[in-house]
Structure 1
Amino acid sequence: MPDGAPVLEPRASCPKDFRVALVLPRRGPAGMFGLECHAAAELAAAEIDAAGGVAGRTVEFVHVDGSGDPAAVAATIGALLESASIDAVTGWHLSNARQAIAKVVGGHVPYVYAAAYEGGERSDGVLCSGEVPGDQIVASLHWLRTEERLSQWFIVGNDYVWPRGTAAATRVGLRDTGIEILGERFLPLDTHDPACWDRVLNEIVRSGAHGVISLLVGSDAVRFNRAFGDKGLDAAITRFSPFTDETVILASGAEATANLFVSAGWFAGLDSASAAEFTAGFGRAFDLVNGIGPADESAAPPPGTMAETTYSGVHLLAGIAGTSVPTVEDARRAFGKWGWDSPHGPVDLHRGSARHPVHMAKARGVELDVVARVR
């Protein structure tokens, strides 16, 4: 372990802890990201504690399952607030859960939402630290037109607020650019029926699109990639996703990732000292949290963007604190203007929108090779 690296050990609860509801998915299509996000959050907490804590308090996570009915997730948060059991909320979860949680949390405690999202969140005390469509998707489509000569696209997404809001924002961002969206199709979360995927693939082919923008989550993205590869469409149609990471690529399999591009702030293959430091720390945290791997050999997968954004979200929450634990007033100040360093580079928050470096990667088997920075 490098000198100065935080020691990751279980922390006992005490009245002076900084108690954070950590909302992560355990089930459903996003459940595949839960373990890596948990490990990343624990790494951030260990680093914060090693640096003196949050206003002298150690970080204690109160774990909340972010999958399932958003109203039920929000009710859990509401009960924790009512019993004065938490001081803040953060985590990686879907936008439908965020909207429900924000209604309960707004104005009571700070809430850092770590995932890439559709934009427009203005609830009191809520900070969204992930990428937004204009920076991530529109910039990526311009790059793909220049580098790959792709200008006609078909959108496939899950049927909830993030894919629909992102599709609408993308259409607005592409006005008068010569890049066209020829059609779109949204499917329920956790779609398993092969016939549904087959109908979508046939619709894509009939549209004549050069490429597909995938706004699918987790295991739904995996099922789509496998169906796409099985049908042999990857030879003629490019796929692009702003919500795929190394975990999805690995689960999809090498035979299902040809001609697939991904854009995000973070990739495990980024060549920087801060990226290497985070990757090493994540490996230690993953092994400890999940109780796997011999002491001299990590069993951790490469950290995906969902893990990295969770890590950065915990650090942002701690970073806005003044002389006490973070308050809604601290979140309001940060909402107007704030900046921080992340493993993928500097991030600036201005009027509620976080501006990130955005990189493009191309799948190579079950790995992602970073090929360009698009913003």
Structure 2
Amino acid sequence: MTDAGVAAEHRRQDPSEFRVALALPRQGPAGIFGLECRAAAELAAAEIDAAGGVAGRRVQFVHVDAGGDPAAVATTIGDLVTAGAVDAVTGWHLSNARQAIAKVVEGRIPYVYAAAYEGGETSDGVLCSGEVPGDQIIASLRWLRTELRLRRWFIVGNDYVWPRGSAMATRAGLEGSDIAILGERFVPLGFDGPVGWEDILVDIEAADPDGVITLLVGSDAVRFNRAFADAGLDATVTRFSPFTDETVMLASGSASTRNLFISAGWFAGLASASAAEFSTGFARSFDLFNGTGPAGVSVAPQPGTMAETTYSGMHLLAGIATTSVPTVEDARRAFDGWGWDSPHGPVDLRRGAARHPVHLAVARGVELRVIARVR
């Protein structure tokens, strides 16, 4: 499927195609998720096409690297929209990119943002299909308080809108409870260097928390997990993350995941027919688009929550269509109230907030074992 530059050159789309700007990260700390998200999007597109397409049109992706500067990403997508080269936008990417993209597409074409986020997005024609902090973070902290008596937390996050907004929402959501946030540290995206992590680990030790809430992205989360374990803090301090998946677990390594809990709507270990069906389809799609091994030998990893939300976001985008390809008016209607089935269960969208089933898992080496449903 097409690259953004090629699509901009052609400027006029084939009327038999539903052309979607698929914004996924290929670089930066979130680039670790790019291959799995593409495989999931391609699986959704194949399923949609097999069911008759979108208003009779087949899905055609125009690929946009969403891992670079948010303003540059938004400019690329804005140029595609102005050229009439795309009908809609979707994909998994960070909230700083979402904010920039929303400004250039608002009221022009529908945009489904397929990632857990901090909440509050109301731009015209924009649908956010991922989990929000109240369902994902607050519910998990309350479970950990009740079941494991973890009450005192320290936040470590990247310094951009999602971690900052999620930390703020977490503090607000915990008001009136006996769960306390002792301190916060935020680091730039792409943060590296052992001295930097050591400084943060010293602050954590000084605060003496029961646990650390990690609001870190991709490879930054991997580096923190390794530094945390190397310092021996994993023996006595619990970690909790709402933004870690199986890919990050594998990259962190089994020696770096002790006392680590993860919350999300999706986990590859969910025991349901729809979850198994998605995992099987994902493996085929991953091998088709990303595989490098011998024919017939799968190299697909387990699909993480980033892949599953990308898949579900594409199905949501196609599902809101009426007699034509999806329009801003269709997105407005869905914003007010919509529902769809995902591989992790039914999701309801009301006034722009997507309510998901949310599960809590604990690390066992590089595997994630689901231990509770917290919402």
What TM-score comes out, normalization by structure 1 length?
0.96
Q: Distance in 1 between matches of 2:330 and 2:15?
A: 22
Equivalent position of 2:7 in the other structure: none
Equivalent position of 2:195 in the other structure: 195
Equivalent position of 1:171 in the other structure: 171
Q: Distance in 2 between matches of 1:73 and 1:296?
A: 37
Equivalent position of 2:48 in the other structure: 48
The runs of 4+ residues in structure 1 deviating greater than 2 Å are 291-297
Tell me which amino acid in the other structure corresponds to 2:115: A
Q: Deviations over 1:233-268 (max 9, x none)?
A: 011100000000000000000000000000000000
Q: Deviations over 1:300-330 (max 9, x none)?
A: 0000000000000000000000000000000
Tell me which amino acid in the other structure corresponds to 1:183: G
Q: Distance in 2 between matches of 1:291 and 1:235?
A: 37
Deviates more, 1:32-41 or 1:284-293: 284-293
Equivalent position of 1:342 in the other structure: 342
Q: Distance in 1 between matches of 2:277 and 2:200?
A: 41
Equivalent position of 1:3 in the other structure: none
Contact 2:291–2:298, Cα closer than 8 Å, also in 1: no
Q: Distance in 1 between matches of 2:14 and 2:253?
A: 45
What TM-score comes out, normalization by structure 2 length?
0.96
Tell me which amino acid in the other structure corresponds to 1:197: W
1:296, CA displacement in angstroms?
Answer: 2.6
Equivalent position of 2:280 in the other structure: 280
Q: Distance in 1 between matches of 2:270 and 2:152?
A: 29
1:192, CA displacement in angstroms?
Answer: 1.0
Within the alignment, does 1:117 sit opposite 2:112 as a pair? no
Equivalent position of 2:157 in the other structure: 157
Equivalent position of 1:103 in the other structure: 103
Within the alignment, does 1:71 sit opposite 2:68 as a pair? no
What is the 5 A alignment of 1:1-375?
14-375=14-375
Q: Which runs of 5+ in 1 are unaligned?
A: 1-8
Q: Distance in 2 between matches of 1:295 and 1:353?
A: 43
Contact 2:361–2:370, Cα closer than 8 Å, also in 1: yes
1:16, CA displacement in angstroms?
Answer: 1.6
Q: Deviations over 1:175-231 (max 9, x none)?
A: 001100000000000011111101001100100110000000000000000000001
Q: Distance in 2 between matches of 1:233 and 1:83?
A: 53
Contact 2:291–2:300, Cα closer than 8 Å, also in 1: no
Q: Deviations over 1:266-291 (max 9, x none)?
A: 00000000000000000000000114
1:86, CA displacement in angstroms?
Answer: 0.3
Tell me which amino acid in the other structure corresponds to 1:16: S
Q: Distance in 2 between matches of 1:14 and 1:254?
A: 48
1:293, CA displacement in angstroms?
Answer: 3.0
Tell me the SS of whatever aligns to 1:186. Answer: strand
Equivalent position of 1:5 in the other structure: none
Q: Distance in 2 between matches of 1:39 and 1:296?
A: 17
Percent of aligned positions that are identical: 76
Q: Distance in 2 between matches of 1:54 and 1:114?
A: 19
Q: Distance in 2 between matches of 1:324 and 1:121?
A: 25
Q: Which runs of 5+ in 2 are unaligned?
A: 3-12
Q: Deviations over 1:76-110 (max 9, x none)?
A: 01100111000000000000000000000000000
